[in-house]
Amino acid sequence: MKKILIAILSLLLVYGFLREYTVAKVLVVIAGAAAGYAVFRLPQRSIEAMKYPLIVISFLVTALFFFYPRIAIPEVARMAIVFVSFYAFILYLTGMEEKGQDIFKEVTALSILFFSSGFNLYITGKLVFMISFAAALILFLFIIGRYRIIPFIATYACIAAFMAYRQGVSLTGGGLTGLAEINRYILLGSAFALLVTSFAFVMKKSSFSTMLPFFGFLYIAMDILLVAGVRFSTGLLYQPVLFIAILAPLAGTMLKTERGKS
């Protein structure tokens, strides 16, 4: 029953987001569902181990942009960089929570990852993504009791906002066009329901496979709130493929948790 509920809520979230369906969007949804199922079938250790190649890729992209900051980047590559930056950070963060490292190592590692991801997004013109991500991260750290890390992340978020402003990127815009009121409620309602469900799993058993979807859905809910409510100029709601690419592994991991493989 819980699997069905998670699947329905995920589909509702996608439905409220897409607003209208084309052949291309249907194919993207099918691909996302297949990716979610693949994550569901993967052993947890394989999911945890994905952080290493993703972190390496993120650092390699940083090195590439450092030496070739004006390199031409297609839009699909920009979205891939956002995806890699997000999952490299979130996989390390949830693994860090299980290991319980000392505060200095945690702050150092998170700072390096944050600046690497921030630099990559700055070069690609997607730095605004870091603001909603940092807001979700601060709330997540507050919930799990890592209060001493919050001032560092808040400072980095302010730096990201300032750099985005200096880059000429407007933080707010006209909002999503064509988003009906009912779709807005479906988005907020389904995202909140998935967030509450993932939080219930964390309260039942705090582990990698429960913390990952909790933080992921916290970020998605924060992004929806900022885009649909505050009218942020950049967010997941503006990028259908990226939205589903980030959602699919979270839903798959959440189904794995419910199945008892955490």
pLDDT in tens, 82-92: 899 889 988 88
Over 60: is that where the pLDDT of 9 sits? yes
| 230, 231, 233, 235 alpha-carbon torsion, rounded to 10° | 80
Q: Residue 232's beta-bridge partner residues?
A: 172
User: pLDDT, tens digit, for every residue of 226-256?
Assistant: 877 777 777 787 787 888 889 888 888 888 7
Over 80: is that where the pLDDT of 122 sits? yes
Over 70: is that where the pLDDT of 259 sits? no
User: pLDDT, tens digit, for every residue of 59-82?
Assistant: 999 999 999 988 888 988 988 998
User: pLDDT, tens digit, for every residue of 138-162?
Assistant: 998 888 888 888 999 999 989 988 8
Q: What is the pLDDT of residue 98?
A: 64
pTM: 0.85
- The domain total for the chain is 1
**Tokens 């919050």 correspond to what residue?**
150
Residue 251 and residue 262: Cα distance in Å, rounded? 14
- The sign of the dihedral angle between the CA atoms of 144, 221, 39, 84 is negative
Domain of 205, in residue numbers? 2-259
- Contact indicator for 221, 135 with CB cutoff of 8 Å: no
Comparing 10-14, 103-107, 242-246, the range with the smallest average pLDDT is 10-14
Confidence band of 261 (pLDDT split at 50, 70, 90): very low
User: pLDDT, tens digit, for every residue of 169-178?
Assistant: 777 766 666 6
- Contact indicator for 58, 88 with CB cutoff of 8 Å: yes
If we measure between CA atoms, which residue out of 150, 167, 157, 85 comes closest to residue 121?
85
Residue 243 and residue 240: Cα distance in Å, rounded? 5
